[in-house]
Amino acid sequence: MNDYERIALVIRYLDERHADQPDLATLAEVAGMSPFHFHRLFSAWAAITPKDFLQCLTLAHAKVLLRKGTSVLDAALSSGLSGPGRLHDLCVVLEAASPGEVKSGGAGWTISAGFADSPFGRCLLGESPRGICHLSFIDSGDGAAELAALQAHWPRARLQRDDATAARLAGGIF
């Protein structure tokens, strides 16, 4: 098995079992490697650590549950987290929003959203009252699809176009 196949196997494993919150040793065993070598290989191929990748999958699952109306406690436990405090920390760090704000779709928020240049091409950035809540790269010519995706992600928030804020944020990120 080559390195690509190992990483693909682990990503599929994580996708299927993220609620079990597998540790590094388990993932390394799936890849047939030592934890040290697996961590280095995964980070090189995915440009993110296995733990960070698992956190993103966990949050994505929890967000689906929250948007369906699941309680914060049940969303946390169903996502493999120890409780709502862990889900809160994950939401704030990765989404710049509390679980309640995710559940409400950004109700009461104004999100400053705009387009800016980056080393990877044109991007759309959104800033909520808590911080950066969106970053995507433009696939279409005018960015309309990306703006629609941002609005769908935060359906009850008001979007305010602000390219100057986006340029400032992009300068800090890139």
**Would you place residue 1 in the very low, low, confident or very high pLDDT band (cuts 50, 70, 90)?**
confident
**Would you place residue 81 in the very low, low, confident or very high pLDDT band (cuts 50, 70, 90)?**
very high
Cβ-contact 9, 30 below 8 angstroms: yes
What pLDDT is stored for residue 102 in this prediction?
95
pTM, 2 dp: 0.83
Mean pLDDT of 138-165: 92
What confidence tens digit (pLDDT) does each residue in 45-73 have? 989 999 999 999 999 999 999 999 999 99
All domains of the chain in start order, with CATH: 3-103 (1.10.10.60), 110-173 (3.30.160.70)
Residue 140 has pLDDT above 80, yes or no: no
Q: Are strands 131-137 and 110-118 parallel, antiparallel or unpaired?
A: unpaired
What confidence tens digit (pLDDT) does each residue in 20-47 have? 999 999 999 999 999 999 999 999 998 9
Distance CA 46, CA 53 (A): 8
* Of the candidates 127, 72, 81, the residue with the CA atom closest to the CA atom of residue 103: 72
Cβ-contact 114, 164 below 8 angstroms: yes
